[in-house]
């Protein structure tokens, strides 16, 4: 298995990008050359220099430091959303798939309703009523995105449930709870990890987009989406202000996608057996 994973160049590159991203996020205070919030109007819109690695923005803040701290908030937000999604969707999906019948029908209809709401609309509604903030964006995103997950997990649970060994486990005296937690969950854990990795890329992208339109994290938080949004007035004179955070988003998303694809290929035989 390990050999199969390490043979893939895409996986290695993805893993390197993701590790690099996580290290930067974790050690941001030590890596960043300047305070990301410190404004220095006298040296605004500067070219890259030894003090400002990537120059400064329209308020004289260090772009490099803001991107480095932005990695931290991106990692925090995306991981929170992912954890919330996974914690909610796994038990619901497992129960829906394993119990079946009326329980399954009810849960699936609820999921259908939730999936019919675009997450964008819900974030807009939550921002309108509770105010736009990173916390509200996370709540709104998690409350919509778990549904799709739960549906996928339900499908996998149904598939495992129909296998012969479940009947053998019943014959062996396992309770339903034990079958679900010890056996079905273990059987679908690998595909869930792959899915989560692949999903992290789109979560990061969504967080950046919500911040860009002003529904997510609020300025002056160093966040990639906000940075692009803040610098949109300078797109003609100082395009680098948008390009740097844009590149950061692209590389991170591609990194997670490559990692996820690599895992999918490595587990592939098991996933689609």
Nearest to 93 by CA among 111, 75, 76: 111
Which of 38, 113, 165, 247 binds another protein (CB under 8 A)? It is 165
Residues facing 56 on adjacent strands: 62
- The residue (of 9 and 170) whose beta carbon lies closer to another protein is 170
Which of 12, 79, 169, 205 binds another protein (CB under 8 A)? It is 169
Helices (H), the chain: 2-6, 9-26, 28-31, 63-99, 101-116, 119-130, 134-161, 164-171, 176-178, 185-212, 224-230, 240-271
**69 to 98, contacts with another protein by CB under 8 A?**
none
Binding of residue 121 to another protein (CB under 8 A): no
Binding of residue 170 to another protein (CB under 8 A): yes
Binding of residue 162 to another protein (CB under 8 A): no
Which of 6, 41, 167, 235 binds another protein (CB under 8 A)? It is 167
Rounded Cα gap, residues 262 and 198, in angstroms: 10
Nearest to 265 by CA among 46, 5, 14: 5
Binding of residue 183 to another protein (CB under 8 A): yes
Which burial class, exposed, middle or buried, applies to 243 when counting CB atoms under 10 A from its CB (0-12, 13-18, 19+)? Answer: middle
Rounded Cα gap, residues 234 and 227, in angstroms: 12
Which range touches another protein (CB under 8 A), out of 76-84, 109-117, 183-191, 208-216? Answer: 183-191
Which of 7, 9, 109, 163 binds another protein (CB under 8 A)? It is 163
Binding of residue 176 to another protein (CB under 8 A): yes
> Given the rule CB under 8 A, which residues bind another protein?
163-165, 167-176, 178, 182-183, 186-187
């Amino acid at each position: 298995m390990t050999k199969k994973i390490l043979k893939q160049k895409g996986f290695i590159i993805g893993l390197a990008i993701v590790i690099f991203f996580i290290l930067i996020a974790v050690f941001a205070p030590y890596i960043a050359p300047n305070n990301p919030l410190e404004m220095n109007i006298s040296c605004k819109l500067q070219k890259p220099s030894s003090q400002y690695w990537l120059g400064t923005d329209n308020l004289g803040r260090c772009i490099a430091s803001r991107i480095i701290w932005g990695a931290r908030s991106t990692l925090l937000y995306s991981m929170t959303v992912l954890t919330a999604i996974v914690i909610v969707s796994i038990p619901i999906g497992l129960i829906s798939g394993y119990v079946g019948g009326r329980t399954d029908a009810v849960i699936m209809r609820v999921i259908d309703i939730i999936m019919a709401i675009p997450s964008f609309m819900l974030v807009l509604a939550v921002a309108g009523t509770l105010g736009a903030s990173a916390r509200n964006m996370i709540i709104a995103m998690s409350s919509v995105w778990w549904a799709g997950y739960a549906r996928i997990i339900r499908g996998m649970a149904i598939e495992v449930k129909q296998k012969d060994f479940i009947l053998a486990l019943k014959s062996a005296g396992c309770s339903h709870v034990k079958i679900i937690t010890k056996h079905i969950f273990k059987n679908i854990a690998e595909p869930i990890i792959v899915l989560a990795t692949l999903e992290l890329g789109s979560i990061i992208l969504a967080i950046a987009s919500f911040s860009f339109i002003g529904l997510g994290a609020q300025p002056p938080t160093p966040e990639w989406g906000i940075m692009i949004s803040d610098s949109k007035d300078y797109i003609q004179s100082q395009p680098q202000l948008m390009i740097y955070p844009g590149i950061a988003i692209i590389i991170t998303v591609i990194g997670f996608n490559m990692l996820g694809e690599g895992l999918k290929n490595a587990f592939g035989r098991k996933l689609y057996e």
